[in-house]
Amino acid sequence: MTAARGMPRLEGLLDSLAQAYGEPAPPPPRTLLELVLLENVAYLVDDVKREQAFNALRTRVGTTPSQILAAPTEALLVVASPGILAENQVDKLRRIAQIALEVDLDSTRTLPLRGAKRLLMRFPSIGEPGAEKILLFGRAHPVLGLDSNGVRVLARLGCVEEAKSYAATYRNVQAFVAPFLERGFDWLMRAHQLLRQHGQEVCRRSRPRCEVCSLRDWCRYYARTIG
């Protein structure tokens, strides 16, 4: 499959999304450990509740391994309570703290990308896309670690081949974005934020809102199913 005829380069697609949503706010600076904790602090919650849970962790408990390991279970349950299965998340927070005592997270900045991802994937619930996202937002490696929302946007547009497995589709995304990695952290974080927002709000997994999509003129999915 090929991209839609006349489709602009990725820069043009991102600029169209920025016109639709506004420029995304720069993400707050966080350590690599804080980014791992953010991914695990509450289960099945939206971005707002995840941030609230993380802020509760930071203010009520702290984000160092020793602070988390010393925290009472009741305090960690309160932190994780915005999501479901809070007890499981408490266990994950403690496992993260223990692993963080055993590894040097800052070494990911000097390790080759493959080794840096492998180190991060030792933590609970961190797969390859999550590891790449953490490396990006932690400014350790300039990689475009997209979640399923961003991957779906690129696949529906026709920028990448949608394979039978998500892992294969994700590899296709990695190949597609490889020429853009030299743009650096700020450019890549902007791309991540815009593609993710579009996938969450318009290019949804079910019942996508194609009628309001700013990219529909270039979208293979829209041309095939609606246009």
> Structural domain boundaries of the chain?
10-25+145-225, 32-137
Residue with tokens 């489709």: 7
Cβ-based burial of 57 (10 A; exposed 0-12, middle 13-18, buried ≥19): buried
Render each residue's pLDDT in the chain as its tens digit; 227 residues: 344 445 678 999 999 999 999 999 999 999 999 999 999 999 999 999 999 999 999 999 999 999 999 999 999 999 999 999 999 999 999 999 999 999 999 999 999 999 999 999 999 999 999 999 999 999 999 999 999 999 999 999 999 999 999 999 999 999 999 999 999 999 999 999 999 999 999 999 999 999 999 999 999 999 988 75
Give domain 32-137's CATH number out of 3.30.1390.10, 1.10.340.30, 3.40.50.300, 3.20.20.20.
1.10.340.30
Q: Which fold has domain 10-25+145-225?
A: Endonuclease Iii, domain 2 (1.10.1670)
Separation CA 129–CA 144 (nearest Å): 9
